[in-house]
Structure 1
Amino acid sequence: MKKITRRQALGFAIGAAAVVGLSACSSSKAPATAAIGAEASGSPSVPPFSLPSGGIDEVYEGHRIQITLGEGGQHGGHHLPAMPVVKIDGNELHIMRNADGSWVSVVNHYETFPDPIAAAKAAIRDLQGTQLAPFGPHEGGSTS
């Protein structure tokens, strides 16, 4: 009985991996094209973030959370919506919105949250009673 050589086994494994990889690529093409088309059509799939008039000002676990809308801007000729400015005890908590509409913060960037207030409350819990440190030169941080 003839045995299969290592070279033949390696060739078979590489061929099988290529087939699996190509089939995965071809099946994921349609959603990517649809997402690009939806973005190009100008209809955002994620609704813009809105705050009550006057923003949010509340105390959570002994820390003051303030959320206001910052100024919008422009990038490459496109108007950017105003991002919320989140402050905990007067220090800014940097947050970012993900493509799916969820939010992350610099304190807890491995977990997503449904809105900036939930991200701020999670940051307070993660700080475990310590103060949020100023971030960057515009908030009293060092530039070196």
Structure 2
Amino acid sequence: MTRRHLITVAAAATLGAVGAFRGLRAKDEPEGLPGSPGGPGFDETYRGRRIQGEPTTGERDHGPDGWRVTVDGQPLGLMRRSDGSYLSMLDHYQSYATPLAAARGAVDELGPHQALSGRLH
């Protein structure tokens, strides 16, 4: 094999692996479960915090497939990414498969003593 051929094969394999990885996040979460796209809302206590979420499909402020999510009654801003995953306004670098997972991630980011109010959301 020539060097050019090896580089081409390696590049194709890398691009294929990246494409497969990107598709895993949103697709791995089963639909219809609480907090998943197309599923019902959620209301749970996670690490001592009450997180609630409800789908807002069709509402002007949240857009199609939007969610209204709160942590201890304070609104948490979520954004849907082009790959179908979600990120919270508390952590722009981590994406999550569902709004529920994003809310749990926000609680992890807040820690045990910080409140959502007064933070960017």
- Do both proteins adopt the same fold according to a TM-score greater than 0.5, normalized to the shorter chain? yes
Point out 4+ residue stretches in structure 1 off by more than 6 angstroms: none
Post-superposition Cα deviations, 1:8-34, rounded to whole Å, max 9, x if no partner, equal xxxxxxxxxxxxxxxxxxxxxxxxxxx
Q: Which amino acid aligns with 2:97?
A: P
Match of 1:81 among 64, 81, 85: 64
Pair 1:60-2:43 in alignment? no
| TM-score, with length taken from structure 2 | 0.61
Higher relative contact order (CA 8 A, sep 6+): 2
1:134 to partner: Cα distance: 5.5
Higher strand share: 2
- Quote the sequence identity (%): 36
CA separation in 2, counterparts of 1:134 and 1:72? 29
1:73 to partner: Cα distance: 4.3
- Superposed CA RMSD in Å reads 2.5
Name the count of aligned residue pairs: 84
1:91 corresponds to:
74
Match of 1:69 among 35, 38, 55: 55
Unaligned ranges ≥5, structure 2: 1-26
Unaligned ranges ≥5, structure 1: 1-45, 75-79, 137-144
Match of 1:133 among 114, 117, 121: 117
In the alignment, is the contact (CA less than 8 A) between 2:85 and 2:98 conserved in 1? yes
